[in-house]
Amino acid sequence: MEKLKNKKKIELGDWQTPPDLAIKTCQILLETGICPASIIEPTCGKGSFVLAALETFQSAKCCFGLDISDKYLAETIKKIQPFQNCITTSITQGDFFSFSWEKQIASMPDPVLVIGNPPWVTNSGIGSIGGRNLPKKSNFQNMKGLDAITGKSNFDISEWMIISMLDYLKGRDACLAMLCKTAVARKVLLYGWKNQMPFEWCSIYKINAQQYFDVAVDACFFVVKLGQRTPALHCKIYSDLNHNSFEHLAAFKKNRLIPDIALYEKWKHLIADKDEPFKWRSGIKHDCAKIMELRKENNCFRNGLGERVELEDEYLFPMLKSSDLANGEITSINRYMLVPQHFVGQQTGIIKHNSPKTWDYLQRHSDLLDRRTSVIYRNNPQFSIFGVGDYTFTDWKVAISGFYKNIRFRLIGPYEGKPVVFDDTCYFLSCRSKEEASLLYEILSSQAAEEFFSAYIWWDSKRPITLEILNMLSLVKLADFYGKSALIENVHQDKESHQLIMF
């Protein structure tokens, strides 16, 4: 019974908003000059937002609330009883995805405020518990953008709901104000700007979701004002629900969403050109940590299945993971990776002759390795890995974790005579010498580099630092900026003499 209740809670994203948070958000809107005649709460639940909005906005003439769960509706109706003499109210049971929003919105006067907290659940989250609270395909035949969203393997229900509401509000004097994941707010902004939606202004006020909802996710109060004025292609970001907490301005530039446009403008002269000689790489992808990653114990190795194994040295390399790069000093390494190929697609049969114990070990665990589901392993030699090449085996590297919420580069040299490798949560530059690595490390640890990357990083992302962002910065231009053009000269000399640079 309890299990069934939990499943329903997850499927409906049923985390009701605490009344004090609803009141704070309405206060913010009032301070911004929002004076709605109509209030709409599309998933009103127990009515925190309906009540807070009616208490805050004296201008309101009518109010409409919808929720799929009828168990909450009586509570909401009771809460708003005191307003029923002066305001037309309607609290209705219904499914957002099949409700006739066009008709409802057309019957309500401008200015309209759509406010609430749609469910924070993804389609795959719903799928994994066998739920069905999803948009039906037939609903959005005319909504090409939404079609693209539902075509994605994973999307947030709230992203779909917010975008469809914005679509319905086109041409109206309206404001949409929703609590949602910050990642959803970003996707909606990008969608809106790419589709020329009439956003007069937008704001993101970060909230502490742990405090209010006991969930560990980056969330915000997302506000979009729609109207007739020329659309503004920027969004103010606040660190909390307070107008004094303005942090920075995000903007739509060159078809992408730039988190900090001031830093972008300051450092755009350092953007890499097409022929940038330095290239960031991902660490090795093997999708089988239990077998391919081993811990050194005295002279033996222990794999992820807890087996003690003896292997030849040839295919084993000291390895670092994201957590090693992001935290503390690296004084010793006791994790090793089995790297059976030197380049992608290399035949692996040779291991049998070079290192028979390693071959036996791989054969013994071929059931797990052959079961790797990613399509990249199909039609490739047995035990294949990806993200491997000459660049993997250089002694000196500069590396960073893609997962952690800090910009911390590490200078990595060989360990016990072997080059260090990384797993695929890390990125690195492969360097030709210790001197080059030291220089790159020095300039990457500079204020200019930190500010440059900060212009592009959304810290609420699962993987905030990406290859795309790293490769955006020209290390040649950065070296020049810091008067270290010797690096540039060396690189150009190498280019001119047609030496192969192993990046």
Ligand X SMILES: C[S@@+](CC[C@H](N)C(=O)[O-])C[C@H]1O[C@@H](n2cnc3c(N)ncnc32)[C@H](O)[C@@H]1O
Positions that interact with ligand X (CB under 6 A):
12-17, 43-46, 48-49, 66-69, 72, 95-97, 116-117, 119, 133
DSSP string, 224-285: EEE-SSPPP-EEEEESSSSGGGEEEEEEEETTEEES-HHHHHHHGGGB--TT-S---EE-BB
Burial class (CB in 10 A: 0-12, 13-18, 19+), 402: buried
Closest to ligand X by CB, 17 vs 430, is 17
Closest to ligand X by CB, 72 vs 453, is 72
Q: What are phi and psi of 175, to 5 degrees?
A: -135, 135
State in angstroms the smallest separation of the CB of 150 from ligand X: 14
State in angstroms the smallest separation of the CB of 36 from ligand X: 17
Closest to ligand X by CB, 12 vs 316, is 12
Closest to ligand X by CB, 69 vs 348, is 69
DSSP label at residue 174: E
State in angstroms the smallest separation of the CB of 8 from ligand X: 9
Closest to ligand X by CB, 116 vs 283, is 116
State in angstroms the smallest separation of the CB of 6 from ligand X: 14
Note if the bond before 277 is cis, omega within 30 degrees: no
The token pair that represents 473 in the structure block: 């910065």
The SS3 call for residue 92 is strand
Closest to ligand X by CB, 97 vs 415, is 97
Closest to ligand X by CB, 205 vs 359, is 205
The strand order across the sheet containing 174-181 reads 88-93, 62-67, 38-41, 112-116, 174-181, 219-226, 199-207, 234-238, 246-253, 256-258
In angstroms, the CA 97 to CA 160 distance is 10
Closest to ligand X by CB, 24 vs 365, is 24
- List helix spans (H) across 389-446: 434-444
State in angstroms the smallest separation of the CB of 104 from ligand X: 13
In angstroms, the CA 360 to CA 352 distance is 8
State in angstroms the smallest separation of the CB of 216 from ligand X: 16
Closest to ligand X by CB, 143 vs 233, is 143
Closest to ligand X by CB, 45 vs 111, is 45
Closest to ligand X by CB, 68 vs 337, is 68
Q: Which residue is nearest to ligand X (CB)?
A: 45
In angstroms, the CA 232 to CA 193 distance is 9
| HSE-CB for 96 with a 13 A CA cutoff | 28
Q: Position 44: which residue type?
A: C
State in angstroms the smallest separation of the CB of 360 from ligand X: 54
State in angstroms the smallest separation of the CB of 197 from ligand X: 23
Q: Position 190: which residue type?
A: L
- List helix spans (H) across 143-197: 144-151, 157-168, 182-194
State in angstroms the smallest separation of the CB of 98 from ligand X: 8
State in angstroms the smallest separation of the CB of 13 from ligand X: 5
The SS3 call for residue 353 is helix
SS (H, E, C) 453-485: HHCCCCCCCCCCCCHHHHCCECHHHHHHHCCCC
**Which residues on neighbouring strands pair with residue 156, listed in sequence order?**
122
Burial class (CB in 10 A: 0-12, 13-18, 19+), 255: exposed
State in angstroms the smallest separation of the CB of 219 from ligand X: 11
